[in-house]
Amino acid sequence: MNGERQQKYGEDCYCRTQGSPFFARKTRTNAHSCDKVIVITHSHPPDRVGIRWLSPGLKVYYIPFPTLVSSATLPNFFTFLPYYRTIVLREHITLVHAHASLSSLAHEGILHSHLLGVRTVFTDHSLFGFDDAASILTNKLVEAALRNVDAVICVSHTGRENTVLRAQLFERHPAVSSNAPLRPSQYVNNNVYVIPNALVAERFKPDPNPKSSDTITIVFVSRMAYRKGIDLLVATAPRICAIFPNVRFLVGGDGPKMVELLQMREKHLLQDRIELLGPVKPGDVRDVLVQGTIFLNTSLTESFGIATLEAACAGLYVVSTRVGGVPEILPEDMISFARPEEDDVVRAMSEAIRIVSAGKHDPVQAHERVRRFYDWGRITGRTERVYDAVLKSQPRDFWTRMQRTLELGRFAGPIFVAILVVECLFFLFLEWLMPREDIDFAVREDQSPGQSSGIELGTPTADFRPSSGDWSSEGDRDGDT
481 within domain boundaries: no
Q: Look at residues 16, 106, 51 and name the one whose alpha carbon lies nearest to residue 466.
A: 51
pLDDT at 470: 36
Name residue 217's beta-bridge partners.
248
Residues 350 and 392 in one domain: no
Residues 49 and 76 in one domain: yes
φ, ψ of residue 175 in degrees (nearest 5): -65, 145
Residues 386 and 344 in one domain: no
Name residue 318's beta-bridge partners.
295, 335
Q: Does 331 sit behind a cis peptide bond, omega within 30 degrees of 0 on the bond before it?
A: no
60 within domain boundaries: yes
Last residue of a domain, one of 315, 343, 374: 374
Contact 6, 32 (CB under 8 A): yes
pLDDT at 26: 56
Contact 53, 477 (CB under 8 A): yes
Contact 431, 81 (CB under 8 A): no
Contact 303, 197 (CB under 8 A): no
Q: Look at residues 56, 40, 55, 58 and name the one whose alpha carbon lies nearest to residue 99.
A: 40
Residues 192 and 215 in one domain: no
pLDDT digits (tens, 9 = 90+) for 224-262: 999 999 999 999 999 999 999 999 999 999 999 999 999
Higher pLDDT, 143 or 471: 143
Q: DSSP per residue over 263-314, as a string?
A: HHHHHTT-TTTEEEEE---GGGHHHHHTT-SEEEE--S--SS-HHHHHHHHT
Residues 120 and 169 in one domain: yes
Contacts of 241 (CB under 8 A, 6+ apart): 247, 248, 249, 268, 270, 273, 274
Domain enclosing residue 56, as ranges: 3-175+184-197+377-476
Residue 333 belongs to domain with CATH number? 3.40.50.2000
pLDDT at 229: 95
The predicted model gives 446-472 an average pLDDT of 38
Quote the percentage of the chain above a pLDDT of 90.
65
346 within domain boundaries: yes
Residues 384 and 362 in one domain: no
Q: Look at residues 166, 162, 160 and name the one whose alpha carbon lies nearest to residue 190.
A: 160
The Cα-based distances of 430 to 80, 86, 114, 411, 425 in angstroms read 12, 10, 15, 29, 9
Q: Look at residues 465, 308, 395 and name the one whose alpha carbon lies nearest to residue 113.
A: 395
Q: DSSP per residue over 4-52, as a string?
A: HHHHHH-EEEEE--TTHHHHHHHHHHTTT--SEEEEEEE-BTTTB-EEE
How many domains would you assign to the chain?
2
Residues 429 and 453 in one domain: yes
The predicted model gives 172-183 an average pLDDT of 56
CA–CA separation, 236 vs 220, rounded Å? 13
454 within domain boundaries: yes
Q: Look at residues 152, 157, 110, 199 and name the one whose alpha carbon lies nearest to residue 386.
A: 152
pLDDT at 29: 56
Q: Look at residues 29, 153, 35 and name the one whose alpha carbon lies nearest to residue 93.
A: 35
Residues 268 and 402 in one domain: no
DSSP conformation class of 180: S
CA–CA separation, 464 vs 394, rounded Å? 28
Contact 43, 65 (CB under 8 A): yes
The predicted model gives 123-144 an average pLDDT of 91
Q: How far is CA 423 from its chain centroid?
A: 27
Residues 154 and 226 in one domain: no
Whether residue 481 is predicted with pLDDT greater than 80 in this model: the reply is: no
Last residue of a domain, one of 374, 390, 422: 374
56 within domain boundaries: yes
The predicted model gives 301-315 an average pLDDT of 95
Residues 118 and 263 in one domain: no
Residue 365's pLDDT band, with cuts at 50, 70 and 90, is very high
Rg (CA), the chain: 25
466 within domain boundaries: yes
Residue 178's pLDDT band, with cuts at 50, 70 and 90, is low
108 within domain boundaries: yes
Q: Look at residues 12, 120, 137 and name the one whose alpha carbon lies nearest to residue 75.
A: 137
Whether residue 17 is predicted with pLDDT greater than 60 in this model: the reply is: no
399 within domain boundaries: yes
Residues 42 and 138 in one domain: yes
Whether residue 284 is predicted with pLDDT greater than 50 in this model: the reply is: yes
Residues 222 and 343 in one domain: yes
pLDDT digits (tens, 9 = 90+) for 38-89: 999 988 888 888 989 888 888 899 999 888 877 778 888 789 999 999 899 8
CA–CA separation, 110 vs 6, rounded Å? 23
Helices (H), 215-256: 230-243
Last residue of a domain, one of 310, 345, 374: 374
pLDDT at 24: 56
CA–CA separation, 155 vs 178, rounded Å? 39
DSSP conformation class of 153: E
